[in-house]
Amino acid sequence: MKGKMSVYYDEEGDFLEVSFGLPAEEGTTEEVEPGIFITKEIETGEIKNVGILDFKQRAVILRQILGKLNLKFPVDVVIPI
């Protein structure tokens, strides 16, 4: 994935959207898990967008899992809850 990444969070709807590079010229969106959507460029298959419903609830679970794994990331990610 080349280009910039943008993040949008709708607090009222508790929806997180992360976009990568330029928008897809022709894309297709599928729900890969309940409440998790991925948009891909049709021609290249490149992921252009990820959307997550009920983000805060999912973030708590993810934080618990990652805490048990003791992984180190190149950046600090803070999820306000």
> Is the pLDDT higher at 39 or at 68?
39
Domain that holds residue 42: 5-56
Cα distances (Å, whole numbers) of residue 30 to 4, 43, 61, 66: 23, 16, 23, 26
Cα angle value 30/4/80 (rounded, 5°) = 75
Query: Does any domain span residue 65?
Result: no
Name the residue among 28, 20, 15 with its Cα closest to residue 2: 20
Confidence class for position 59, pLDDT limits 50, 70, 90? confident
The reply to whether 41 falls in a domain is: yes
pTM: 0.70
Counting the structural domains of the chain, the total is 1
**Inside any domain, residue 81:** no
Residue 70 lies in a domain: no
Residue 68 counted as domain residue: no
Q: Which two tokens mark 13? A: 């709807």
How large is the average pLDDT for residues 12-21? 90
In a domain, 36, yes or no: yes
